[in-house]
A and B are shown apart, each in its own frame.
Chain A
Amino acid sequence: MSGKTLVTIKGVRDGLVFVLDDRCEWDSLLKELEDKLTRHGQQLSGAAMQVRVRLGRRQVNEDAKEKIRDIIGRYGNLLVESIESDAEGPPAIPRDNLPLYRMSGIVRSGQAVEHDGHLLLLGDVNPGGTVRCTGDIYILGALRGIAHAGCEGDTGAIIAASLMMPMQLRIANVISRPPEEWVSEDSRMEFAYLRGGVMEIDRITQLHRFRKEATLSKGV
């Protein structure tokens, strides 16, 4: 095995944080986790402690999470509080099932539109106007004001606009102000998304790469 530690255990104020490497093989990760716990088992005994597991950008299913809980749970005093992965929006929101709210009109200065789910706006958002929702924001018009997608923490949400000239873009907790961080390259429809916690912007034709949704087209 390489010298790189795959499992790092940190003590924090209210318990322990297990940081698991997100690049290595799953099996070797589990093995090292087990080894570490056996080696340090003595130190880890004592009063009950909260454990938060961080998986980095590794995407895992429920079975795999159960396995981690199982390994750590063998030490009676360690309570797994949460298993977090950056690959999914914390907490995982079933984005496809969110309702789509459609409205037309202009969101003017001082006005705010808030909605649970996705928002389709047929019109402009003017400077000083705000649209905010828990899912995606799609604007068929000019975005000149503020848009906040995934406002309850969905880092996978996107903001799409026919004309992307926003005062500010927000996705989950990330705030970005053009043109300091990015500039709209052309007047084609674009979308904003988070990559590794940083706001990026791209042409709408690139959205399927980000979302990895299956495209079904009929015809030849």
Chain B
Amino acid sequence: MGEAIVVTSGKGGVGKTTTTANLGTALAMLGKKVCLVDTDIGLRNLDVVMGLENRVIYDLIDVAEGRCRLGQALVKDKRFEDLLYMLPAAQTKDKNDITPEQVKAIVEELKPDFDYVIIDCPAGIEQGFRNAVAGADKAIVVTTPENAAVRDADRVIGLLEKTRIGSPKLLINRIRPSLLKRGEILDVDEVCQVLAIDLIGIVPDDETVIKHANQGEPIVMNPQSRAAIAYRNVARRILGETVPLMPLEEKEGFMRKVRKFFGMG
């Protein structure tokens, strides 16, 4: 019996979909059988980020309304043999066209066949959020080191704590070491102090993430990227390994190496 993990944040644009795609891919790379579920009905993106857009035939709403079997709607990612699948959201409907009970039933149906079911939650705390959370056993709250994102994360944590999921895990995304060093953004400790939940990972901001998302290839497949390593670390922590947080200062180290190379160090 697998585990269903919802990736949520409250605020939009902090990297829920990117996180879902990358964690799912990383878990598949580690040999786990994973199904990604997009619950952002009407604004589906996960298929685009995964590069599976042109293979979508049926969607979540079709399954909920019985127009197809669950197995027919699952899109298989051919890059990972038989390990990575995705259940796309409908693009022509909206969040109120499905109920939390229906989503829960679908997730329950997926769980026996997969090690992990990762649910991509839409922004906001309304029906879409309730749908996404309904079937989940655990939750990862994604935030960025900005006050607005931390406020919304706090709100969402409060809501999650009232459900059977309980205390979620925290992922701090898009940390820019240069801004951090100058104290212009919140640091990891400050965010953790306010939110007071367990940290599952920190992901440095990496411009190549966008490039990879546009190409439909999750960044985690590129081992040169620091964000990729960070996501792989999170995946290993999900599997129960103890992995230390990666240092954020490497960028400077790289520059130092360059300077050294030119004899300026």
> What residues of chain A have their CB less than 8 Å away from a CB belonging to chain B?
106, 108-111, 124, 126-129, 142, 144
Contact = CB atoms under 8 A, between A and B. Distances in A.
Nearest to B125: A110
Contacts of A142: 193
20 contacts: A106-B196, A108-B154, A108-B155, A108-B157, A109-B152, A109-B155, A109-B158, A110-B155, A110-B158, A111-B158, A124-B196, A126-B154, A126-B194, A127-B147, A127-B151, A127-B154, A127-B194, A128-B155, A129-B154, A144-B194
A136 to B, nearest CB: 24
Nearest to B158: A108
Contacts of B195: 126
A127 B157 CA distance: 13
Given A127-B154, A142-B193, 7 more contacts: A108-B157, A109-B152, A109-B158, A110-B155, A126-B194, A126-B195, A127-B194
A162 to B, nearest CB: 13
A41 B196 CA distance: 69
A188 B48 CA distance: 52
B157 to A, nearest CB: 6
Interface string B173-215: 0000000000000000000011110000000000000000000
Contacts of A111: 158
Interface residues of B, number: 13
Contacts of A144: 194
Q: Is the interface of B mostly helix, strand, loop or mixed?
A: helix
Interface of B: 147, 151-152, 154-155, 157-159, 161, 193-196
A128 B161 CA distance: 17
A20 B33 CA distance: 82
Sort A-B residue pairs by CB-CB distance and give the 6 closest, nearest first: A108-B158, A109-B154, A109-B155, A110-B155, A108-B154, A126-B154
- Interface core residue of B151, B158, B161 (most chain A CB under 10 Å): B158
Nearest to A123: B196
Contacts of B161: 108
Nearest to B162: A111
Nearest to B196: A106
Nearest to A105: B161
Contacts of A127: 147, 151, 154, 194
A76 to B, nearest CB: 61
Contacts of A109: 151-152, 154-155, 158
A75 to B, nearest CB: 60
A129 B196 CA distance: 14
Nearest to A163: B193
Contacts of B155: 108-110, 128
Nearest to A110: B155
A114 to B, nearest CB: 16
A7 to B, nearest CB: 54
B196 A128 contact: no
A189 B193 CA distance: 18
Given A108-B158, A109-B158, A128 B194 contact: no
Contacts of A108: 154-155, 157-158, 161
Contacts of B158: 108-111
